[in-house]
Amino acid sequence: MPTPDIADVDAPQRWRNLLKHDLPASIVVFLIAIPLSLGIAAASGAPLLAGLVAAVVGGVVAGLLSGAPLQVSGPAAGLTVIVAGTVADFGWAATTAIVAMAGLVQLLLGALRLGRAALALSPAVVHGMLAGIGIVIALSQVHVVLGGDAQSEAWQNLRELPAQIVGHHGQAVLLGVLTIAILLLWPRFVKLSLLPGALVAVSVATLTAGLGGFDVARVELPSNPLGELTFPHLPEGGFVPVAVAVLTIALVASVESLLSAVAVDKLHDGKRADLNKELLAQGAANTVSGALGGLPVTGVIVRSSTNVAAGARTRMSAVLHGLWIALCVLAFTALLEQIPLSALAAVLVVVGLRLVSLAQIKSYRRHRELPTYLVTAFAVVFTDLLTGVALGMATAVLLMLLRLARCEITRSSPADGQWSVVITGTLAFIGAGRVARELSAVPAGAHVELELHLDYLDQGAFESIKDWQEAYVRSGGTVHIREMHGRWFREATSGRLGGNKSHRRMPRFLGSWSQWVSRSERRAAMQAGIDEFERSVAPLVQPHLADLAREGQRPEQLFITCADSRLVPNLITTSGPGDLFTIRNVGNIVPAYGSGDASVGAGIEYAVDVLGVSAITVCGHSGCGAVRALMGGAAGTPSDLGAWLAESRVALSASDSEEDCITANVAQQIENIRSYPSVRTAIDAGRLTLTGFYFDLAEARMYSVERGERKPVNVA
């Protein structure tokens, strides 16, 4: 069902959406947000209140201004590592100032309408970054679950983990394991959205700790939250480190928010996200969150997808969830302070590990982008975020270059002893060595047909082929080079490779033989065309043709047009095998029913009575030689052509324009079609229509013929 924005409906409908859909959804999201916000704050090394402040601001400020109405914003696990490092370097008060400045940067990016620029970043890099962050979070928080303390670096957490596992853990580990067990098992056995697994797990762990009298570290919140907010202090430590911290938070928060907004769009069929507006909303939220002592805010896919699944219809669900969090902080602080920190750490362990998606890994493996994903993830874990992203982007660019420079080379020796070498794809200096090896494997003294199907050729690759050709000829062999696509090799031979001349070409199935078969081979053009079809086109269309062969033809149209070689029906109608039942003859003439020639009439009756076509189209064209002959009085002259032209039953005069005469001929042939009894019966039954067209060859444009007049075909 569509999900309208709040501005798209009237007041009564807004209230109905609010009470029936948004209010229940906001409660579900609120119940998820509380434990996640506290856990992210704890993992970031920030005051726990900072996570709740960010959740309130993300819900209210970002929710009201959002360009993605169903997206829910708040503190995100993806920024945990960055914030923890910033807190360690500058302190918490300075970090809030950096968060506020990052928000101002986001506002600038949104004002410059750079929202969609984030989508240019490779998804493999983004997801690899999130996976690396997830691993870092899990490695640090598992120490808290086991009753220890997290280290500042991922490699240190990894090094200390074996000792932590075998050490004495006490009651904290029991609560952590219990929380993880519930988080993993709850969604499998309980499908009630009003009781999210994170809330249930933390609640059970809290009750267990309370009833068992466990002596464990718990949440600590100020007794007067409004009076103990942390306000920003300008950071110290030099301009460059501060600028790097600001830009890192701004860019990562922006990318995560925009990718989340795009993902949320796929979950509903309502209004699509305005990414520039969403970037402005995130900037405003981060500015306010930093000013009030909160964590950075991003769009969060976990909360957003839950919001959609819970039935939210407008942005009011996100806003209300923020208000519920504010109410909880002000009125139920004592209840929140009963939550064990090991339970929140357990929630973060699960959240972190879920950032490493097996489905994404399988997808990137299928698309051959797994190296980018893995390099980014491991670099984030063992170096830092910026280095990891930079290495990931470098890997993505390298893979792209390797794919662009990829070519296929096949060698074969026909029965007559000649050798055939076919090179297809992009041929650059990177592949020159491989080309040289393949060509050197051809036995000396033979005749070699070198066939080039190239999208690009650079000087290094050209010289590799040219050097081999000259050496092979000197050794007693012969080489014939044929370019099937473009003129890259010929241009390079004449010293014009890389010049201003365009190498644009039509696909082989659109171009004529003269465009890709050399003059000396023109007599064998038909065979060359068949060879090209079997090599390049047949593998693509064979499954469709096999279906047509098995099921038979069921065309929708009978298309009657001229035999002129310049007119290609399937090209000008963008149709394929099985779409058109075609009759072609000189002048697209349809003899009237009962006249001497029955071949066209047989085709019409077969199309209407047997195939059941729903439309018959007569298509004339500019420069028609048959119409010119009619204008010159050739109809009825003692010749086969004269007798055929007389069947048109149209009187044309040389005094009229050629275009008008062609149009009149089309209109007359439509009237001739009406003389067939099967056609009249189908028209009267409402299952057949007749249409006329005029195709201008020079313009490559189609006109409809209505009541003897040409009108441009409406393509809007």
Mean predicted confidence (pLDDT) in 44-60: 94
Output the average pLDDT for the chain.
Answer: 85
159 vs 713, more confident = 159
Mean predicted confidence (pLDDT) in 578-596: 92
Mean predicted confidence (pLDDT) in 5-28: 70
515 vs 141, more confident = 141
| pLDDT at residue number 715 | 44
| pLDDT at residue number 502 | 43
| pLDDT at residue number 515 | 56
Mean predicted confidence (pLDDT) in 185-194: 74
Band (236; pLDDT cuts 50, 70, 90): confident
Kindly tell me if the per-residue pLDDT of 237 is higher than 90: no
Phi-psi region of 208 (alpha: psi -120 to 50; beta: other; left: phi over 0): alpha
Give residue 370's Cα distance to chain centre.
17
Kindly tell me if the per-residue pLDDT of 463 is higher than 50: yes
DSSP 533: I
Kindly tell me if the per-residue pLDDT of 212 is higher than 50: yes
Mean predicted confidence (pLDDT) in 288-300: 94
Kindly tell me if the per-residue pLDDT of 688 is higher than 80: yes
Structural contact between residues 565 and 621, judged by C-beta atoms closer than 8 angstroms: no
Residues with Cβ within 8 Å of 595's Cβ and at least 6 positions away in sequence, in order, are 647
Mean predicted confidence (pLDDT) in 131-149: 83
Mean predicted confidence (pLDDT) in 221-229: 82
| pLDDT at residue number 501 | 46
Kindly tell me if the per-residue pLDDT of 513 is higher than 70: no
Band (517; pLDDT cuts 50, 70, 90): low
478-508 confidence digits (pLDDT tens): 998 888 666 788 888 877 666 544 444 555 5
E strands, 327-458, where? 407-412, 419-427, 447-457
The CATH number assigned to the domain with range 407-505 reads 3.30.750.24
Kindly tell me if the per-residue pLDDT of 411 is higher than 60: yes
The token pair at 679 is: 């056609």
Kindly tell me if the per-residue pLDDT of 120 is higher than 50: yes
Kindly tell me if the per-residue pLDDT of 332 is higher than 70: yes
| pLDDT at residue number 716 | 39
- For β-strands 478-485 and 557-562, DSSP reports them as unpaired
Separation of alpha carbons 126 and 654, rounded Å: 70
Backbone phi, psi, residue 508, to 5°: -55, -40
- Alpha carbon of 410 to those of 21, 442, 451, 529, 567: distances in Å? 62, 11, 10, 19, 36
Closest to 282 in 3D by CA, of 71, 80, 58? 58
Mean predicted confidence (pLDDT) in 554-573: 92
Closest to 349 in 3D by CA, of 181, 170, 156? 181
| pLDDT at residue number 510 | 57
Separation of alpha carbons 253 and 80, rounded Å: 11
The length of the chain in residues reads: 716
Separation of alpha carbons 394 and 509, rounded Å: 38
DSSP 20: I
Separation of alpha carbons 497 and 494, rounded Å: 8
| pLDDT at residue number 486 | 67
| pLDDT at residue number 654 | 77
Establish how many alpha carbons lie within 13 A of residue 429's alpha carbon, considering only the half-sphere containing its beta carbon.
4
The token pair at 593 is: 């029913």
149-184 confidence digits (pLDDT tens): 777 677 888 888 888 887 766 788 899 999 999 989
Lowest average pLDDT, out of 97-101, 362-366, 516-520, goes to 516-520
Separation of alpha carbons 150 and 137, rounded Å: 10
410 vs 607, more confident = 607
Kindly tell me if the per-residue pLDDT of 366 is higher than 80: yes
The token pair at 445 is: 């003294």
Residue holding tokens 């942390």? 230
Kindly tell me if the per-residue pLDDT of 133 is higher than 90: no
| pLDDT at residue number 189 | 81
- For β-strands 580-585 and 557-562, DSSP reports them as parallel
Band (620; pLDDT cuts 50, 70, 90): very high
Separation of alpha carbons 169 and 171, rounded Å: 7
Amino acid at position 589, single letter: I
The CATH number assigned to the domain with range 553-712 reads 3.40.1050.10
pTM for the model stands at 0.58
Percent of the chain at pLDDT > 70 equals 90
Kindly tell me if the per-residue pLDDT of 90 is higher than 60: yes
What are the extents of the domains in the chain? Answer: 6-356, 407-505, 553-712
| pLDDT at residue number 276 | 93
- Most confident of the following: 133-137, 191-195, 325-329: 325-329
- Alpha carbon of 297 to those of 60, 117, 123, 125: distances in Å? 12, 20, 21, 21
| pLDDT at residue number 500 | 44
Closest to 346 in 3D by CA, of 197, 490, 473? 197
| pLDDT at residue number 374 | 94
649 vs 311, more confident = 649
